[in-house]
Amino acid sequence: MRTEDHRVPLFPIFLKLDGCRCLVVGAGPVGESKIASLLEAGADVRVVSPDATRTVRDWAGEGRLVWVRRRFEPDDLRDEGGRDVRLVIAALPAGEDLARIADEARRRGVLCNAVDVPDHCDFYYPAVVRRGDLQIAISTSGHSPALAQRLRRELEAQFGHEYGQWLEDLGQARRALFAAGVEAAERTRLLHELASGEAFARYRASRVPDPDIPALGSGKVFLVGAGPGDPELLTLRALRVIGMADVVFHDDLVPAEVLELVPPGAQVRSVGKRHGTHHISQEGINALLIEGARAGRVVVRLKGGDVSIFGRANEEMQALSQAGVAFEVVPGVTAVSGAAAAAGVSLTDRATSSAVVLVTAQVCRGHARPDWGALVASGATLAIYMPGQRYDRIAGDLLRARLPPETPCLVVSRASQPDEMVRRTSVRDIASGVPGPAPAILIVGEVVGRRPAAGVGGPSGSRETDPGA
């Protein structure tokens, strides 16, 4: 008994079709895209369809394909010499001859793809990133072409067009090493070194006058915001920069799912702190960034949220400037935005608050504490970063500043991550209840009380508690 195709394990291959007869049944907009990909692969294309798009008609007029103006017949699966075609694409509306074409193709051993009908497919069209001879193909076994397209866009941002020419150069180098008779082990070592991320950074620097890429013999530091945690909240710019990193220095709160995006050959090191314990001083971090850039590396300093919000980025920028090291800031989604999204609330509202104030509960030694009286008097929504275990002290400060005790609050822990927690409370009751895991953010203001309709708000996996419910 045949199992449904979308449950069958797939064997990924890249197929040579140059000069091979391929059949496309249907020449509408969908068929046109399939025909284009076959022509690009050098296939001998025959199209069977009563009508065709203007582009397909032009291709036929130019002699790039043969167009037969009628409906499908079984003998279309053979060429003039009586040989079966290599594959057939059925680009027709659902139900229109698809089963007949698929059955006839399988009877003859011809590979068939019925567009958008997985049960009639022997293979699927992947979403493809093309950079010259470099091709990255993505398949979801027909379950979600939309997901495949989204991943393709992300990979296109990560792998620029310069990869095509670089791959050609790598191919020439490989052929030269074989021709020179270099011993196998040494040849393998050299080829891996030539294909490394560091070698690619040097290649781009020597070929492309791009301000993103350090000049040959020098490096560059990228201060990158990793967002609140969910890798899908990374910017495309951040994704691209991470993908070309030689070394990554990250905060402890950057999740493993984001670190998995770092290239396999790159050095990854945690330089963050947890619960007040430093792995390394800020001066030590600055020295590592400078050292890496001076060694000609692409250095990524990866911080949770946005680098310019309570991330000590200014200290690192000053150190890099004084050392004459090139750097760039790549902003990220800050924690309060992720927290508000998780709880399904807006940070501003025309009826209750026209401003948002970002403030940290972590006060450095020798620095003044926030002027809670002025903040409360402003009427702004308060986004309090790094509350830690200071909820009792924060509540006292807000009450002494004459904020009404019933003012609604949100405590959002690990926003956008699988173990995200949302706790609804009030200023009076902030300190009651069990605090969630770090990182957390406290949002205070009337906007918190303007709750969305049932079923609207954060991700379905988030946990929410409401002592007042």
Angle at 389 between CA 386 and CA 390, to 5 degrees: 80
The answer to whether 330 and 238 have CB atoms below 8 angstroms apart is: yes
Helices (H), 384-469: 391-400
Predicted pLDDT at 206: 62
Domain boundary among 330, 351, 384: 330
Q: Which residue has the higher pLDDT, 18 or 126?
A: 18
Domain boundary among 330, 349, 378: 330
Statement to judge: residues 273 and 372 lie in one domain: no
Statement to judge: residues 324 and 341 lie in one domain: no
Statement to judge: residues 376 and 416 lie in one domain: yes
Quote the number of domains for the chain.
3
Domain boundary among 330, 357, 373: 330
H-helix or E-strand spanning residue 145: helix 145-158
Statement to judge: residues 219 and 300 lie in one domain: yes
Please indicate, yes or no, whether the overall pTM of this predicted structure exceeds 0.85: no
Confidence check: pLDDT of 80 > 90: no
Statement to judge: residues 308 and 403 lie in one domain: no
Query: Which sequence positions are flagged as catalytic?
Result: 251, 273
Give the confidence band of 125 by pLDDT, cuts at 50, 70, 90. confident
Predicted pLDDT at 465: 60
Predicted pLDDT at 85: 94
Statement to judge: residues 363 and 253 lie in one domain: no
* Averaged pLDDT of the chain: 84
Statement to judge: residues 354 and 458 lie in one domain: yes
455 occurs within a structural domain: yes
The CATH number assigned to the domain holding 443 equals 3.30.950.10
Query: In this structure, is the dihedral angle defined by the CA atoms of residues 275, 277, 283 and 284, taken in order, positive or negative?
Result: negative
**Range of lowest pLDDT (16-20, 360-364, 391-395):** 360-364
Predicted pLDDT at 218: 55
Confidence check: pLDDT of 365 > 70: no
Confidence check: pLDDT of 210 > 80: no
Predicted pLDDT at 456: 44
The tens digit of pLDDT for each residue in 284-322 reads 899 999 988 888 888 999 999 999 998 889 999 999 999
Statement to judge: residues 290 and 355 lie in one domain: no
161 occurs within a structural domain: no
Confidence check: pLDDT of 324 > 70: yes
d(CA 413, CA 423): 8
243 occurs within a structural domain: yes
Give the confidence band of 1 by pLDDT, cuts at 50, 70, 90. very low
446 phi, psi to nearest 5 deg: -65, -25
Angle at 125 between CA 122 and CA 131, to 5 degrees: 140
Statement to judge: residues 363 and 448 lie in one domain: yes
The tens digit of pLDDT for each residue in 127-167 reads 888 888 899 999 888 788 888 888 887 887 778 778 888 89
Q: Which residue has the higher pLDDT, 417 or 217?
A: 417
358 occurs within a structural domain: yes
The CATH number assigned to the domain holding 279 equals 3.40.1010.10
The tens digit of pLDDT for each residue in 414-466 reads 888 888 889 899 999 888 866 677 788 999 999 888 765 444 444 444 566 65
Confidence check: pLDDT of 469 > 60: no
Statement to judge: residues 345 and 455 lie in one domain: yes
State which residues form the domain around 71.
Answer: 5-125
The tens digit of pLDDT for each residue in 164-177 reads 888 988 988 888 88
403 occurs within a structural domain: yes
The answer to whether 172 and 194 have CB atoms below 8 angstroms apart is: no
Confidence check: pLDDT of 373 > 70: yes
Place of tokens 């050959």: 265
Statement to judge: residues 324 and 410 lie in one domain: no
d(CA 201, CA 210): 11
